[in-house]
Amino acid sequence: HLRGKTALVTGSTSGIGLAIARAYAKAGAHVVLNGFGDADEIEAMRKTLAGEHDVEVRYHATDMTDVAAIEAMVAEVEAEFGAIDLLVNNAGVQHVAPVHEFPVDKWNLIIALNLSAAFHAMRLVIPQMKKKGWGRIVSTASAHALVASPYKSAYVAAKHGIAGLTKTVALEVAESGITVNAISPGYVWTPLVEKQIPATMAARGLTEEQVKRDVLLAAQPTRQFVTVDEIAALALFLTTDAARNITGALQVIDGGWTAA
Ligand code: NAD
């Protein structure tokens, strides 16, 4: 159902963003990949995605904390494809430290990447979406858009900020055929999480199962990781006609975390 449309997915060289980019390409959208990583691996990924789904796939290495670079990327993509019909604000990083020791540069980075980048991308793509009378904006928030955990002040502040930004922009474009939503995952199984397991097993003298269940998934009642494909399926549903009245919503997908 996305044939002929163009999607920009930030932070899509890995994890959740890559899964959403795949799902959108599978549904027929041209896709602009963004994020960091090994140039050869990204090029291979780009070719595979384009070849498997018969769509155009581009890659922009744009640092999403660089406002001028975001402006240049959006202008370039719109010049080539006419408009960005689907925007996924997904690039994000984490830093864990008590607030009185929180490095100021990490605070600034997390607010710039996890919050301000979404503002810039939204303000830049909305004029063309309005002209076409159709658009879908999805931001990857977090359970931390609704609840807090200690030592994650910047991340929790940014994700709560995404919740407010999502609601505000949704109201502004409500009559323009554009929906604006956030997806709030709990703990997601990504390579990033997988890599932490051996060290935690060694540090705490636990088995792999104990680390997953009692350390990582302590806050998630299902005691199961959310998968990137589950998030991509939700992000894809939000682009369908059936979801046209879902806007300004925080779609929680967290194994019951925020119900507790
Ligand atoms: P990931 O590390 O696998 O992917 C992050 C992506 O962002 C990568 O493509 C990376 O290259 C890119 N990136 C990093 N800095 C960037 C920058 N300055 N400019 C552009 N791109 C940049 O992580 P993930 O788990 O897939 O996380 C994606 C999003 O999901 C983040 O916003 C994260 O906060 C959110 N999230 C993740 C989880 C989880 O448990 N993994 C849970 C809730 C929310």
Task: Give dist(CA 145, CA 221) in Å, integer.
Answer: 18
Read off the pLDDT of each residue in 132-159 and give the average, rounded to a whole number.
96
Closest residue by Cα to atom 12, ligand 1, is 11
Ligand 1 pocket: which of 142, 193, 234 to mutate (most atoms within 8 A of CB): 142
- What residue type is assigned to position 95 of the chain? H
35 within ligand 1 shell (Cβ under 6 A): yes
User: Is 155 noted as a catalytic residue in this protein?
Assistant: yes
Q: Considering only CA atoms, which of 186, 196, 253, 252 is closest in space to residue 219?
A: 186
Instruction: Report which secondary-structure segment, H or E, holds 185.
Output: strand 178-185
Taking the CA of residue 226 as reference, the ligand 1 atom at the shortest distance is 40
Ligand 1 pocket: which of 33, 140, 216, 253 to mutate (most atoms within 8 A of CB): 140
Task: Give dist(CA 181, CA 76) in Å, integer.
Answer: 25
Write down the pLDDT at residue 109.
Answer: 98
Distance from the alpha carbon of residue 108 to the mean position of ligand 1, in angstroms: 16
Write down the pLDDT at residue 196.
Answer: 78
Comparing 2-16, 149-163, 201-215, 234-248, which segment has the lowest mean pLDDT?
A: 201-215
**56-73 pLDDT tens trace:** 999 999 999 999 999 999
Q: Considering only CA atoms, which of 138, 152, 114, 147 is closest in space to residue 233?
A: 138
Percent of the chain with pLDDT over 90: 88
Widest CA span of the chain, in angstroms? Answer: 59
Torsion angles phi and psi, residue 201, rounded to 5: -60, -45
Comparing 25-29, 131-135, 162-166, 207-211, which segment has the lowest mean pLDDT?
A: 207-211
113 pLDDT above the threshold of 90: yes
Taking the alpha carbons at both ends of the chain, their separation in whole angstroms is: 37
- Give me the helices (H) in the chain, please: 15-26, 39-53, 67-81, 104-111, 117-132, 153-172, 191-204, 208-210, 228-237
CB neighbours of residue 31 within 10 Å: 30
Q: Considering only CA atoms, which of 19, 70, 94 is closest in space to residue 49?
A: 19
Write down the pLDDT at residue 48.
Answer: 97
- The residues facing 180 across adjacent strands are 137
Read off the pLDDT of each residue in 35-44 and give the average, rounded to a whole number.
98
**164-208 pLDDT tens trace:** 999 999 999 999 999 999 999 999 998 778 887 888 888 889 999
Task: Give dist(CA 4, CA 1) in Å, integer.
Answer: 9
Read off the pLDDT of each residue in 92-117 and give the average, rounded to a whole number.
96
248 within ligand 1 shell (Cβ under 6 A): no
Instruction: Report which secondary-structure segment, H or E, holds 6.
Output: strand 6-9
**Whole-structure pTM value:** 0.97
Task: Give dist(CA 241, CA 232) in Å, integer.
Answer: 17
93 within ligand 1 shell (Cβ under 6 A): yes
239 pLDDT above the threshold of 90: yes
When the pLDDT of each residue in the chain is averaged and rounded to a whole number, the result is: 96
Q: 146 to each of 16, 155, 156, 157, 221, how far by Cα in Å?
A: 19, 12, 8, 10, 16
Tokens found for residue 119:
């503002």
For the chain, the domains span 6-186+227-255
Task: Give dist(CA 138, CA 143) in Å, integer.
Answer: 15
> Does 3.40.50.720 match the CATH number of domain 6-186+227-255?
yes
